[in-house]
Amino acid sequence: MLTEERHFTILNFLKEKEAVKIHELTEATGASESTIRRDLTDLEDAGLLRRVHGGAAKVSRKRIEPTMGEKSARFSEEKRAAGRLAASFIEDDDCVFIDAGTTTLALIPYIQAKNIVAVTNGFDHLRLLAERGIQAYGTGGMLKPSTEALTGTGAVHGLQQYWFDKAFLGVNGIHLKAGYTTPDPEEAAVKREALKRAQQPFILADASKFQESTFTHIADLDAAVIITGRIPEKTRRMFEEATDIKEALS
Amino acid sequence: MLTEERHFTILNFLKEKEAVKIHELTEATGASESTIRRDLTDLEDAGLLRRVHGGAAKVSRKRIEPTMGEKSARFSEEKRAAGRLAASFIEDDDCVFIDAGTTTLALIPYIQAKNIVAVTNGFDHLRLLAERGIQAYGTGGMLKPSTEALTGTGAVHGLQQYWFDKAFLGVNGIHLKAGYTTPDPEEAAVKREALKRAQQPFILADASKFQESTFTHIADLDAAVIITGRIPEKTRRMFEEATDIKEALS
DNA sequence: ATCATTTTCAATCATTTTTATTCAAAAACA
DNA sequence: TGTTTTTGAATAAAAATGATTGAAAATGAT
């Protein structure tokens, strides 16, 4: 029996069943154990099956990244609530921008809208969107190792190809005087560009970001609607004069 | 029996079956082994079948690629050797493009050169580069869920910001007549753009890619230097007339 | 848990099979 | 007739195979 035929036979076994024993294959092909082993090694290298002790198993088509699941499990109640609320603003056929950062990451699992297109500069975001079957585009740009975000002129340049219905941005500071701020000027440039290109921009932030200001100015408060989990009554009253605030847990 | 008749007979065998042995063909045609061998060589050159040890097999012109998950996580010795050889071409201060795909992924661990800048359209590649402390840029574009590559006009657009010293590309087929080919036209466009923007383009491929052709043409063979792990003597001789081949394990 | 037993594995080696190459004979052609 | 093309046999090289080995992994009993 030809090598090619054996390979074909082996793969056919795995179309029917989840796994196959070496002994079954020696019997079906008439080849020796050594030969079957070599075949299995070849086919594994080609990525067509997975070797297991005693035989071979099907390769699973869906590869769900466990780290992502773990990550989302680690979201606080506030982040999840804010994410769910933010996701509810996304409508069918929307084109949205989703900023890098954990706050915006929390909104992705709650997206229900059909047929949307999402652009993101977040590394994990890109994968999570694709895993959820959402058409996902990366902005391009340099991968900033610390935050796993694509930044710099490459990202801005990438953004300039698109126009958004909605944009969901994360920030580090929300301040009555300083407006929205973030430490890295490169990231600020990306956020500013996204803000400019969205009809409805949203800022996702948890309570810790309020009344903070960091190095680089992104925009004034009234440039976007703020979505948050739960904030103190006092803070809410203070900021809702400056812009619209959507609070998930009231 | 006429040469034409024999060819017809051989091809008919392959319509019925997945593969055919030389012995079956000598029996069916009455010709000697040598003659059948010559026939098979001719028919392979015409792209009508694929020679395998002991006979010939069908050419599968399937447009469906194995997904990244199906491709094995563990690199074969050949892939590693090819990766190491490819990495040795990267010099200090180079700007390189690294294509998506497992073959090119295998080169990243071996990069020794200092102060290089890498641009990639591979999702995993981006992370791996950043993990190794290499300044890494993503091209942007749509994330293709199956292969985890950024493709489409977004990726091409992203590429057009850069100019490379070297480019390392993966392909699905290397064929004397068809040149370099890949199933997805979108990906082909990205590869073509990268090829255009690199002073020294390299193609990384394992032995299985030779004499295969898939749907979309990328470039002719002489457009790049081929880097491979180990290929059969015959294959090497056949292709080294068409372009430069660097073989890691000789 | 630990230990002994059984099974499976990867690596090596000798053997067999297949291959490309060469060359001379046969066939086809002018 | 001579010339070219096709063919088949002989060969050494390359590839595939199957048996054997000690190591590794799974299994079962204690």
Ordered by start, the domain boundaries in chain A are 3-57, 66-247
**Nearest residue to nucleotide C9 when comparing alpha carbons to its C1'?**
A53
What is the reported pLDDT for A170? 95
Are the C-beta atoms of residues A154 and B161 closer than 8 Å to each other? yes
More confidently predicted of B249 and A90 = A90
Query: Over 70: is that where the pLDDT of A64 sits?
Result: no
Provide mean pLDDT across the span B205-211. Answer: 80
Distance, CA of B122 to CA of B138 (rounded, Å): 8
Tell me, letter by letter, the H, E, C secondary structure of B181-225. Answer: EECCHHHHHHHHHHHHCEEEEEEECCHHHECCCCCEEEECHHHCE
Query: Over 50: is that where the pLDDT of B69 sits?
Result: no
Helix (H, G, I), strand (E, B) or coil at A215: coil
* CB of B32 nearer than 7 A to strand D: yes
CATH of region B77-247: 3.40.50.1360
Query: Over 90: is that where the pLDDT of B47 sits?
Result: no
Q: Do B142 and A136 touch (CB under 8 A)?
A: yes
Q: Which one of 1.10.10, 1.10.3430, 1.25.40, 3.20.14 gives the CATH number of domain B3-57?
A: 1.10.10
Q: How confident is the model at residue B22 (pLDDT cuts 50, 70, 90)?
A: very high
Partners of residue B137 on adjacent β-strands: A142, B119
Hey, which of A44-53, A143-152, B88-97 has the most confident mean pLDDT?
B88-97
Q: Which residues of A touch B153 (CB under 8 A)?
A: 161
List the single residue in A2, A133, A143 with the smallest CB-CB distance to B136: A143
What is the reported pLDDT for B64? 37
What is the reported pLDDT for A172? 94
* CB of A32 nearer than 7 A to strand C: no
Q: Do B140 and A139 touch (CB under 8 A)?
A: yes
Provide mean pLDDT across the span B71-92. Answer: 73
Q: Which residues of A touch B140 (CB under 8 A)?
A: 137-141, 150, 154-155, 158
Helical H runs in B22-174?
22-29, 33-45, 77-87, 102-105, 123-131, 152-159
Query: Over 60: is that where the pLDDT of B63 sits?
Result: no
What is the reported pLDDT for B74? 43
B97: DSSP letter: E
Q: Which fold has domain A66-247?
A: Rossmann fold (3.40.50)
What is the reported pLDDT for A69? 43
Distance, CA of B182 to CA of A1 (rounded, Å): 31
Q: Which nucleotides of C are covered by protein (CB under 7 A)?
A: 7-12, 17-22
Provide mean pLDDT across the span A45-67. Answer: 70
* CB of B12 nearer than 7 A to strand D: no
What is the reported pLDDT for B146? 67
Best of B70, B80, B123, B186 to disrupt the A interface (most A CBs within 10 Å) is B70
Which nucleotide is closest to A2, CA to C1'? D16
Chain centre to alpha carbon of residue B8:
30
Query: Over 70: is that where the pLDDT of B77 sits?
Result: no
Measure in Å the smallest separation between the Cα of B145 and chain A Cα atoms.
Answer: 6
Rounded to two decimals, the ipTM of the complex is 0.59
Domains B3-57 and B77-247 share a fold: no
H helix or E strand, kind and range, residue A144 = strand A141-144
Hey, which of A108-112, A127-131, B42-46 has the most confident mean pLDDT?
A108-112
Best of A45, A67, A98 to disrupt the B interface (most B CBs within 10 Å) is A45
**pLDDT tens digits along B168-180:** 999 988 888 889 9
Provide mean pLDDT across the span B9-30. Answer: 89
Amino acid letter, A177: K
Helix (H, G, I), strand (E, B) or coil at A70: helix
Which nucleotide is closest to B34, CA to C1'? D8
Q: How confident is the model at residue A75 (pLDDT cuts 50, 70, 90)?
A: low
* CB of B53 nearer than 7 A to strand C: yes
Please state which of the ranges A61-75, A176-190, A208-222, B110-124 shows the lowest mean pLDDT. A61-75
